[in-house]
């Protein structure tokens, strides 16, 4: 069940070509959805426009639950991009996987800790950027000593913990789902007809559950992004 990643070196740098391929495909799919949904806007939305407006309203609800709209409205595009990108990334590895010469090329990019932790670092870094931009350096730094100065070391630890948990939660759920799908698929390939019959129903059930998990994880990642952002930019946090 263990398959190596297609690792290649270029100009002294090491690249996981599977990750490069899958994040590129994810980006293209999200771009295609955005173009298809907005190329012919109408006052009465139908089809894809209706879908994309529902996504915007859903993310707007997430933002309103974490901060006031005057502050959080600027993060609407970020939230929509995140939830769509992570959802698509979570779904790519569900239908099938592709292996070439025992190297795994097609999988969910979020089933790799490198991808999810990179996303988490980018998000946490962005919260610090907006915290400084909207509050100023001095006011931003005072937040680390509120309500009491001795909490400063704990708040530093909290920043690292938030980054790790944000990335590893997404990775763990998607990776575990794909591993179980591989095990169920192995019943059919290694144990003949009986194994295929015995594994088909659990596999379909687990795929349905994995779709649900993928949706929930996209929602949780976006929600926590807005929660962390609110803690940095809102005056009442």
DSSP at 163: H
Q: Which CATH class is domain 65-233?
A: mainly alpha
- Return d(Cα 174, Cα 208) in angstroms, integer: 13
Q: Which of 197 and 206 is assigned the larger pLDDT?
A: 206
Task: Please compute the mean of the pLDDT values over residues 68-93 and round it to a whole number.
Answer: 92
Is residue 206 predicted with pLDDT exceeding 80?
A: no
Q: Which of 226, 198, 235, 3 is nearest to 97 (CA)?
A: 3
pLDDT (tens digit per residue) in 132-177 = 998 888 888 888 887 787 888 898 998 999 999 999 999 999 988 8
Cα of 168 vs its chain's centroid, Å: 11
With a pLDDT cut of 70, the percent of the chain lying above it is 89
Domain spans of the chain? 65-233
**Is the Cβ–Cβ distance between 12 and 112 less than 8 Å?**
no
**Per-residue tokens: 225:** 């992004």
Write out the DSSP string of 95-131: S--EEETTEEEES-GGGSHHHHHHHHHHHHHHHHHHH
Percent of the chain residues topping a pLDDT of 90: 42
pTM for the predicted model, two decimal places:
0.86
Write the pLDDT tens digit of every residue in 219-236: 999 999 999 999 888 776
How high is the pLDDT of residue 128?
Answer: 93
**Contact by Cβ (8 Å): 116, 167:** yes
pLDDT of amino acid 29: 95
At 42, give phi and psi (nearest 5°): -130, 160
Report for 60-64, 70-74, 154-158, 174-178: range of highest mean pLDDT: 60-64
- pLDDT level of residue 190 (50, 70, 90 thresholds): low
pLDDT at 1 over 60: no
More confident residue, 227 or 41: 227
**Which pLDDT score is estimated for 94?**
81
Q: Quick one: pLDDT at residue 16?
A: 84
Mean pLDDT confidence for 198-205: 71
């Amino acid at each position: 069940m263990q398959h190596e990643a297609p690792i290649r070196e270029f100009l002294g740098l090491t690249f996981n070509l599977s990750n490069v391929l899958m994040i590129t495909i994810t980006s293209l799919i999200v771009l295609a959805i955005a173009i298809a949904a907005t190329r012919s806007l109408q006052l009465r939305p139908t089809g894809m426009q209706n879908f994309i407006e529902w996504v915007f309203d859903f993310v707007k609800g997430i933002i309103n639950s974490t901060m006031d709209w005057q502050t959080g409205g600027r993060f609407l595009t970020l939230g929509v991009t995140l939830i769509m990108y992570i959802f698509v990334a979570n779904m790519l590895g569900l239908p099938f996987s592709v292996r070439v010469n025992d190297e795994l090329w097609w999988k969910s990019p979020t089933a790799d800790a490198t991808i999810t932790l990179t996303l988490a670092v980018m998000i946490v870094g962005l919260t610090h950027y907006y915290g400084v931009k909207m509050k100023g350096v001095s006011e931003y730094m005072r937040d680390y000593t509120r309500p009491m100065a001795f909490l400063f070391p704990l708040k530093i630890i909290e920043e690292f913990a938030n980054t790790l948990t944000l990335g590893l939660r997404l990775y763990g759920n998607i990776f575990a789902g794909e591993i179980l799908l591989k095990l169920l698929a192995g019943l059919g390939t290694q144990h003949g007809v009986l194994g295929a019959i015995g594994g088909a129903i659990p596999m379909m059930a687990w795929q349905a559950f994995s779709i649900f998990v993928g949706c929930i994880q996209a929602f949780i990642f976006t929600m926590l992004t807005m929660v962390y952002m609110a803690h940095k930019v809102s005056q009442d946090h």
